[in-house]
Structure 1
């Protein structure tokens, strides 16, 4: 088995690695595609070493969260041969940059029939996080307004579509390359941040959804309505603001989706099957070209997601 191991903050593709042993409540999956996320780059650099140590993660395969594949050793819910996709635990779970993974059933769902393996690997984290942000954290209702920062990125393409499905008033912000994509996905207004400042949109939004990892609450609170909510995908940068929620009308949501949820993933797969959601742009690399794949994460203005082909 091939495995991308992280030893002393250096990634190496190892051959002949032992296959994981399936535990109770898990299925063993032959991986076809695995995604790359900014978090993977953080882990590879060692930025999350403390959290990994606290989580007692033992495997030297520490990168890879999302995947698609075929069940090799199944269960009643996911029989052998079933096509599945999922999102493993951010810190403690088995990682997906290896040919075979043994993963809890609760982290996966059956693949929609209208998705390729490549698309399915690019889908779960962004779609599930966006759904939780808009519906559960922000609790937005039909007709309310949302400003999506990073609307054409890996999470933004799903947040924009889900916001459209919820019949929200959507303003999407991205670089020039993402403007047409945002319109296609359903944004009512699009903003090129290189040409237009968002600072003049004072008190216009019920929710600001921060997917670009560029802004903190203090940077955008003037854009919110008096009872508006700021939802960042990196709550750790906004812990002081979150702690101050009880002292002000404007709130900061704590969004932290650290693993796949089979129920939510099944719901989202149904929306894919019905045409409510579509997968955004996907960039593919061979597993052997992992260095190029990781390097691509550092390129600014990327649209959509990056995946590696393992099978």
Structure 2
């Protein structure tokens, strides 16, 4: 089968489009004929082996998993002997390593029925980003109707889902983004926009019940100054500026864990999102109810997946970038 593989860490130039062996389905897995796959920041972190400390798990000299990509949507080709929920021909979406390929094997528990009202391209954009937003807001943030929620990084892959999910949970939402993305974030339901090129949300005087930080470009002291007395900060990733290439976005997350015991009345929480079928089912319900709609910036054919990752890494893509197979 055709796939995007890599045998060393580096820039998108290390990614190669070519033939690899078709995966064999395990007892608890499904084999999916991929129709579309989404690009995530995770892909270029894995591509570069950045942060370096992650190579202890990913592979010291080269990635253990050769094929890039995580989010996918497609049709079930075959199922393992112990799979009970899915059958060949089912349209599905989910998460698994190796999604930039014609076929991907995924655990049954990381796959769910595709939202009926979404295309394969739209459905592929949902799993990782949508799950991150759902877990950060509903599970860690415990968002309730009427609360004031700020999304820092509202125009990104996770941010565009977070704005919509926060609204679906009944919150009043403030989205932090650049001038060029203000209309997009407003169209997703944000009640208020903070243009970070003109305004600092930590110095505006407004207080929030929850700050969902998807960027990692502000100190925790600054973020806490924007909270209500019993407010919550949920940290999810961010850039490499906080920890450098050694620790990368984990720098801010580690700091959040260390400082959480000194937070007073504030809750400082670190989000680690994991694939979850029940959450995929909830995201499907939200999509089919019209409460969540994926936003796609650009699409690329599978052979140009390296360029798709380069675009996400360099050009600060809005929302999601999708690869079609």
- TM score, norm. by length of structure 2: 0.87
Tell me the number of residue pairs that the alignment of Structure 1 and Structure 2 aligns.
303
Deviations 1:223-278 (A, max 9, x none): 11122111111272232332332332222112011x32111101110111111111
Tell me how far apart the structure 2 counterparts of residues 14 and 151 of structure 1 sit (CA, whole Å): 33
Cα distance in 2, alignment partners of residues 300 and 294 from structure 1: 10
| Closer/same/farther in 2, CA of residues 118 and 141 from structure 1, 3 Å limit | same
Which piece of structure 1 moves more, 15-24 or 41-50?
Answer: 41-50
Alpha-carbon distance between aligned partners in 2 of 1:99 and 1:198, rounded to the nearest angstrom:
44
The answer on whether the counterparts of 2:256 and 2:269 sit within 8 Å (CA) in structure 1 is no
- The structure 2 residue matched to 1:133, chosen from 136, 144, 151, is 136
Are the counterparts in 2 of residues 36 and 64 from structure 1 also a CA contact under 8 Å?
yes
- 2:271 is aligned with 1:255: yes
Question: Structure 1 residues 189, 14: CA separation in 2 closer, same or farther (over 3 Å shift)?
Answer: closer
Inter-partner Cα distance in structure 1 for 2:49 and 2:169: 39
Give the aligned partner of residue 73 of structure 2: 68
Q: Take 1:146 and 1:77, find their aligned partners in 2: how far apart are those partners? A: 37
Structure 1 equivalent of residue 164 of structure 2: 161
Q: Does 1:225 align with 2:228?
A: yes
Q: What do the CA deviations read for 1:23-70 (whole angstroms, capped 9, x no partner)?
A: 111000111111111121111112156535436774322x21101111
Partner of 2:31: 28
Among candidates 259, 262, 265, match of residue 244 of structure 1? 259
How far 1:184 sits from its partner (Å)?
A: 1.4
Contact residue 170 and residue 188 of structure 1 kept, 8 A: yes
- Would the aligned equivalents of 2:4 and 2:18 in 1 still touch at CA under 8 Å? no
**In the TM superposition, what are the counterparts of 1:135-284 in structure 2 within 5 Å?**
135-202=138-205, 204-234=207-237, 236=250, 237-247=252-262, 248-257=264-273, 259-284=274-299
Report Cα offsets for 1:80-111 as digits up to 9, x if no partner: 011110022xxxxx321221111101001110
Aligned to 1:91: none
- SS of 1:39 mapped into structure 2: helix
In structure 1, distance between residues paired with 2:131 and 2:316: 22
Match in the other structure for 2:242:
none
CA contact (8 A) 1:203 1:226 kept: no
SS at match of 1:7: coil
Do the aligned residues in 2 keep the contact of 1:84 with 1:108 (CA within 8 Å)?
yes
| SS at 2:19 equivalent | coil
Tell me the TM-score normalized by structure 1. Answer: 0.91
> Aligned residue for 1:8?
8
Q: 1:34-45 maps to which residues of 2 (within 5 A)?
A: 34-45=37-48
- SS of the residue 2:225 aligns to: helix
The alpha carbon displacement at 1:132 in A equals 0.7
1:109-124 alignment, distance < 5 Å = 109-124=112-127
